[in-house]
Amino acid sequence: MEILLAIVTGILYAAGIYMMLRRSLVKLILGIILLGNGVNLLIFLLGRITKGKPPIIPEEAKVFEELYADPVPQALILTAIVISFGLQAFAIILVKRAYKVLGTDDLDQLNTTDEDS
């Protein structure tokens, strides 16, 4: 299962970077979303997958005797999801406004939008 998730993480990274290198602002945002999901999956994998174990260690335990789920990666991923949702919402509104004002989402044309006088 971990091998499959590692392959999916690599695919998300590759697709995200590919989309970020395109000329469209919409594809840039989609690339950031894919890359963010790849990072979340990577953090999840680094925390090790422990199936069916609670993230609580008994108070009377002196030594870790059995596997337990690490709650830190889960908390980091949850926080990252909330922050990335806010970033995505802001970026979508920003691109919508830029398209409304300039009439294009091509990055090359956005660099050369100086008024000809």
Per-residue pLDDT tens over the stretch 96-111: 998 888 888 777 777 7
Please check whether residue 17 is in contact with residue 38, taking contact to mean a CB–CB distance below 8 angstroms. no
- What pTM was estimated for this model as a whole? 0.75
What SS3 class is residue 24? strand
Per-residue pLDDT tens over the stretch 22-61: 888 889 899 999 999 999 989 888 877 777 666 676 777 7
Residues 6+ apart with CB under 8 A from 108: 23
Tokens encoding 13: 């990274």
Count of the separate structural domains present in the chain: 1
Q: Where are the alpha helices (DSSP H) in the chain?
A: 2-20, 25-46, 71-102, 107-111
In a domain, 77, yes or no: yes
> d(Cα 62, Cα 59) in Å, to the nearest integer?
8
In a domain, 113, yes or no: no
- Domain residue limits at 13: 2-50+69-103
18-22, 70-74, 89-93, 107-111: which range is least confident on average? 107-111
Give the domain CATH number at 14: 1.10.287.3510
Residue 24 β-bridge partners: 106
